[in-house]
Amino acid sequence: MYSFDFSDALKRLPDQFFANLVKKTKQLKDQGHDVINLGQGNPDLPTPEFIVEELKSASEEANFHKYPPFSGYPFLKEAVAAFYKREYDVDIDPEKEVAILFGAKTGLVEISQCLLNANDAVLVPDPGYPDYMSGIALTNANPVYMPLKQEHDFLPNYHDLQEGALDQAKLMFLNYPNNPTAATATKAFFDETIELAKKHNICVVHDFAYGSIGFDGEKPQSFLQSEGAKDIGVEMYTLSKTYNMAGWRIAFAVGNQSVIESLNLIQDHYYVSIFGAIQKAAEKALLSDQKEAKQLVDTYEKRRNAFIEKAREIGWEGKVSKGSFFVWMPTPEGYTSEQFADLLLEKVHVVVAPGNGFGPSGEGYVRIGLLDEEERLIEACERIGTLDLF
């Protein structure tokens, strides 16, 4: 059998950092161990029933058995516009300012292919979602890291960036509520970002995957709520987290017309849009009263509180999460993030994600996913406490 060499683009793709962690976790489960997996980012609760019922009924519509419009059905784009007006008081043109995506991950990879050429500079949060790097690698562009430090509330400090880096950058990725640090952004920060982007002609991509998940009564800020945001960027929103629809692969981008046009163009060549019944169910979710979405946030907040309280009891102190369904916790003295994650997995069968997998500035932390019942989160802390590390 012939073996054909991968393209240079595929060879540039970064290794999947967490693949080894997944392999070790599976081995322990196969051996019969009770593993508490807090290393994932996969919602653990089901999609609300009313959305599932809409899919069932819509799947019987013969019109949806045909190819859908390449750029998505107008009814879903109109629902997106209504959602943004209701939730953020932002006006969106459904025809020119919305792109339907096969999950936000797809859009976040595609955007680099849409706007970048080889050797272009891209500003990337560090730590940050690893798949930003996938699109950058496929394009052969150059990432410029923006460190997210606790002393700056895990927001990039633009004053620390070299002026030359800002002049060279064509694209900037941001993500609040943040994965992995669980920080949120303020309107003042987004205002500053827009001013900077206009000065240096940088397109801003705000990954708003956790946009619905804010704690302590604080609603996460949309990038588009800041004046001038649509002039220089887009926001990507997924239904995966808001409505537990991760497996449905449905999301959208909103904002700058030229960027939306580029996303629609590349997807015209990759796809023939998404099954119409899924788009109909997404419309139902976006136009609903959001009761289930709010209940989900309450669930995550209770889980956060339970975990933080128990962690403090064992002497493990971290910055309290403001949003997302993660907790960003420091490693104990004398351990790297990978060493600590390996220790927890091997000794007490608790899975956490080592921080350096999200970038160099993630070293010294681990990410905890609040994606199990409160009792299991408490038990995880109790198991960790038996190691007497804090």
The answer to whether residues 237 and 367 belong to one domain is no
- Could you report the per-residue pLDDT of 288-330, keeping only the tens digit for each? 999 999 999 999 999 999 999 999 999 999 989 999 999 999 9
Residue 21 clears pLDDT 90, i.e. is over it: no
**Is residue 3 one of the residues assigned to a domain?**
no
CB 153 within 8 A of CB 202: no
**What percent of the chain shows pLDDT beyond 90?**
91
pLDDT at 28: 87
| Domain housing 227 | 49-287
- Could you report the per-residue pLDDT of 226-242, keeping only the tens digit for each? 999 999 999 999 999 99
**Is residue 307 one of the residues assigned to a domain?**
yes
Extract the runs of DSSP E, i.e. beta strands, from 220-373.
233-238, 251-255, 326-330, 350-351, 353-354, 365-369
What's the rounded Cα separation, in Å, for the pair 229 and 239? 22
Taking the CA atoms of 272, 278, 281 and 286 in sequence, report the sign of the dihedral they define: negative
CATH number at residue 19: 3.90.1150.10
Question: How remote is the C-alpha of 114 from its chain's centroid?
Answer: 20
Q: Quick one: average pLDDT of 30-39?
A: 92
CATH number at residue 177: 3.40.640.10
- Could you report the per-residue pLDDT of 119-154, keeping only the tens digit for each? 999 999 999 999 999 999 999 999 999 999 999 999
**Number of domains present in the structure of the chain:** 2
Residue 18 clears pLDDT 80, i.e. is over it: no
Strands 169-175 and 203-207: parallel
The answer to whether residues 305 and 283 belong to one domain is no
**Please, which residues bridge with residue 100 across strands?**
252
The answer to whether residues 240 and 156 belong to one domain is yes
- Could you report the per-residue pLDDT of 360-387, keeping only the tens digit for each? 999 999 999 999 999 999 999 999 999 9
The answer to whether residues 195 and 68 belong to one domain is yes
